[in-house]
Amino acid sequence: MQKNSLFYRRGFFIILLLMIQAVQGNSQLFNNRGNSRGNMSGMQSNLSDSTRKKSIKTNDSIRIYGFTYQDSTRFKIDSSIHLLHRSPLIGEWESDLGNIGSSTNSVFFNPSLSPANQMGIRSNSAYLYSIDKVCFYNTTRPYSDLYYRIGSKQEQIIEVKHSRNINSQWNMSASYRKAGSVGSYQLQRTNNDNFYLSSNYASRNKRYFLNSAVVYNKIQQDENGGIVSEEYLYASNYNNKRLVPVVLDKKATEKNRSNMTNYFRDISLHLKHQYFFGKRDSLFNIDSSEKIYSFKPIFGLKHVLYASSSYYSFKDLTPDSLYYFNIGHLTFKNNDSVYSGYTYKQIGNAFSLTGDVTVREKVMQAEAGYGIEVDEIKNVTTKQSYYNNYVFASIDKTARMEREWLYNASLKFYFTGNLIGNALLSAKAGRNFSDKVGRVRIGFDQTIQQAPLMYDAYQTNFYSLNASFKRQTISKVNLSYENTPYKFSARLNYYLIANYIYRDTMLKGQQYNGVIPLTQLNVFKQFKIRRFVFENNLLGQWVSSNMPLHLPLFASSSRFAYESLVLKKKLNISTGIDFRYNMPFYTDAYSPLIYGFVTQYDHKIENVPRLGYFFNFKVKTFRASICFDEIQQLFTRNNMNYPLYPGQNFMFRFGFHWMFVN
């Protein structure tokens, strides 16, 4: 409890400091990015760059834009309130173990297509800051963003972002997030920390560009093994869910901490810089008082340096032979403990040549290069190193006007090391019609992958889970349509998965010797009648029932709200209900022993729709939300997220989001 109190004191101290800074600053309302998590359609607008010196001379406006490694399209800062009540950590298709910050899985099939080595832990990916998602900003004034949310069972999320330009060419940004809770049930405490520092620089002559970032994540999760039986959820004398017996209730310490824990930590560094060669020209302004220089790039040299170090550990200080029966006949003494340590390090360099290619008067951006990765894998007893060389190329043509085609294609191919033969081929084409007609995209992806490293060899001091696999291949064809004025979008994905890799309930790595076809349709539509808004996000997935890949045939996430400006249009409100539902299916089971999910055929989970009420409001740049989640639990048992892992009780949450500038 002392650590929890310290956690709260630190959180409120950070909030107090930022509020003091906000009083000294000038508040400014930002535009909505419109790319909220869970919506298929993202509406991005471009902002022109401007230095602080120029802003002071011309007007008092404040201009901020951002972009990411994954998407260089400039976006505006999100100031919307319609989804403020939803979790900032997991998406609408994901479910945790019944406590914020715990392992998650998704009913929306979205596999990783990377051909590189992968550690094999995906249950915590929703909570990680990743290099691809790091934001880079350019701002004319120092900008800060504070998010705070508190809920039942000491649930707490704090996220602080700050960005400022050192000068008109150089920006520095940082973000820190703390999330955790003791949970509704016994022995399920979580405590997660995330941090990133990013910087971007562009020379005055527009010849040199640099983006760099450092990312740190730490995930700590106590394990309770799930509840003993679902029957306890029907008993009125167990309304307090902390009284429900859990599988590992004999593994508790005096401080109500489990003796079985999973821990994950990683740190990543990414540096990308490029220099362009081209023609420099000059011209005078209208009154010939100033000479303006322009630069037209012809080709460029690009270098990317990336490095990461990931560490995972499992500890069971009081092992019970009965709990390990799936693995084998293990016997433990009173002073025995089971532990596993896994370290994965990587350092890579990529060099490429970039430039414009003109074909039939169409200008396309092309890139081709070479890369090398050095990987080191270390577990309890073994240590291995790999040197992987690869080549890559891409070509991209953007649509500068309406009714103009856009297309891009990329290839990454490994030709040495343990990844020899792995590849990723992607191609996409599309066309932007008028605003009323919308946009159409069609794409194709083909990847060849090795099994994740922890599937090949997972070791503890008592047992090991080893297997050998063929390469897994995933082919994906996708077609999408988006119409912003009509608030409609649809995406059709078709997968062919060969040699699908998974774990069974015995925790052993398995491979399906065949091809799994999967059809996926996702449709989003918003209806608006005066001040009433009805949003539907529908998901259909068709896969044969005798396959080891289990998904619901139908799932939906909907929002019905009343939105309006009240109190002389100074208060913006959005209030209504959220509900989610998916059809019964054989949900994957969670295993603490591998910190992941396994395929099971015995327990089909059937739940009632999840229901929540929210009241979101905004005054200038201050936004806040009051919500009541899991309302259906007041009338029926808790929904089951996974076998033996029920969802939370009826929950009350309050949060606020405050953006301000100096």
Spell out the domain ranges in the chain: 2-661
pLDDT of residue 41: 35
- In the three-class reduction of DSSP (H, G, I as helix; E, B as strand; rest coil), residue 493 is classed as strand
Burial 444-469 (b: 16+ CB within 10 A, else e): ebbbbbbbbbbbbbbbbebeebeeeb
Cα 121 to Cα 125, 331, 455, distances in angstroms: 8, 28, 10
3-state secondary structure 500-534: CEEECCCCCEEECCCEEEEEEEEEEEEEEECCEEE
Structure tokens at 93: 């298709």
- Lowest average pLDDT, out of 120-129, 242-251, 475-484, goes to 242-251
Average pLDDT (542-565) is 95
pLDDT of residue 381: 84
pLDDT of residue 283: 63
- In the three-class reduction of DSSP (H, G, I as helix; E, B as strand; rest coil), residue 132 is classed as helix
Cα–Cα distance, 139 to 66 (Å, whole number): 9
Confidence of residue 661 (pLDDT cuts 50, 70, 90): confident
Q: What is the DSSP string of 615-654?
A: EEEEETTEEEEEEEE-GGGGTSPPPEEETTEE---SEEEE
Residue 23 has pLDDT above 80, yes or no: no
Q: What is the DSSP string of 7-29?
A: HHHHHHHHHHHHHHHHHHSB--P
Cα 387 to Cα 272, 331, 417, 435, 450, distances in angstroms: 21, 40, 5, 49, 15
Give the whole-number percent of the chain exceeding pLDDT 70.
87
Structure tokens at 160: 């602080």
Residue 576 φ/ψ region, left for φ over 0, alpha for ψ in the -120 to 50 degree band, beta for the rest: left
Mind listing the pLDDT tens digit for each residue in 490-515?
A: 999 999 999 999 999 999 999 999 99
Average pLDDT (151-159) is 93
- Lowest average pLDDT, out of 4-13, 594-603, 637-646, goes to 4-13
**Are residues 483 and 437 in contact, defined by beta-carbon separation less than 8 angstroms?**
yes
Average pLDDT (149-174) is 94
Residue 20 has pLDDT above 50, yes or no: no
| Residue for token pair 């650590």 | 3
Greater confidence, 286 or 11?
286
Greater confidence, 606 or 28?
606
> For the chain, first and last CA: distance in Å?
37
Greater confidence, 283 or 23?
283
2-661 is classed in which CATH architecture? Beta Barrel (2.40)
Residue 265 has pLDDT above 50, yes or no: yes
Residue 120 has pLDDT above 70, yes or no: yes
**pTM, 2 dp:** 0.87
Mind listing the pLDDT tens digit for each residue in 65-113?
A: 888 887 777 888 888 899 999 999 999 999 999 999 999 999 999 999 9
Structure tokens at 162: 């700050």
**Are residues 295 and 278 in contact, defined by beta-carbon separation less than 8 angstroms?**
yes
Average pLDDT (336-354) is 95
Confidence of residue 2 (pLDDT cuts 50, 70, 90): very low
Average pLDDT (235-240) is 89
Average pLDDT (107-131) is 95
Mean pLDDT of the chain: 87
pLDDT of residue 100: 94
Residue 38 has pLDDT above 50, yes or no: no
Average pLDDT (581-602) is 96
Average pLDDT (137-148) is 92
- Lowest average pLDDT, out of 175-179, 214-218, 294-298, 528-532, goes to 294-298
| Phi, psi (deg, nearest 5) at residue 114 | -65, 135
Residue 349 has pLDDT above 90, yes or no: yes
